[in-house]
Amino acid sequence: MKCYSLQAFGLYKETEAASALKSRDYKDATDLIIGGGMESYSVRRLTPLECERLQGLPDGWTDIGDWVDSKGKKHKAADSPRYRAIGNGICTPFWFVLLRRISAMYDRPATLGSFFDGISSFPLLWERLNGPGTAIFASEIDEFCIAVSKKHFPDTTEKEETS
């Protein structure tokens, strides 16, 4: 068994005793990849692309570039909203299998309406199974998630009003 000791922020070295787990390391699920040569190891952050792949999303699904929210405010492209949206999303391979079984139960063309869907993972999976245009409605409250949904499903996305 290998042990790693924290040498400096983000830098680990193989030792006989592991460092105590810090709350920062515990809470940051994106610091999972260990790379480096045989003598040095470092923990690096997963990229948004790697996170998308772990969730079973298409490459670049949340990479929408600069975007405009529902109030007309412009936002620059950034990784933070991508990480948040992917982390709050669903793991699509499991749901693909489940939705395939549900879809098989219908004798007629089936459609999907999705509330609080996040980054439109359910419409993505539904249309893979039932064809384009079968996801007819998606609703979300997070502005970045709305922008992702509008990019991929422009005719079906609505902002859910909260009071």
User: Is the pLDDT assigned to residue 73 strictly greater than 90?
Assistant: yes
Token pair listed for 159? 């902002």
Other beta carbons within 10 Å of 99: 19
Which pLDDT score, from 0 to 100, does residue 46 have?
86
Reported confidence tier of residue 151, pLDDT bands at 50, 70, 90 = very high
pTM of the entire predicted model? 0.71
User: Is the pLDDT assigned to residue 78 strictly greater than 80?
Assistant: yes
Other beta carbons within 10 Å of 80: 9
Say how far apart CA 155 and CA 78 lie, in whole Å. 25
**Paired strand residues for 112:** 135
pLDDT tens-digit map of 40-71? 556 677 899 999 999 999 999 999 999 999 89
Secondary element (H or E) of residue 79: helix 79-87
Reported confidence tier of residue 21, pLDDT bands at 50, 70, 90 = low
**77: Cβ–Cβ under 8 A, 6 or more apart, which residues?**
63, 64, 65, 66, 67
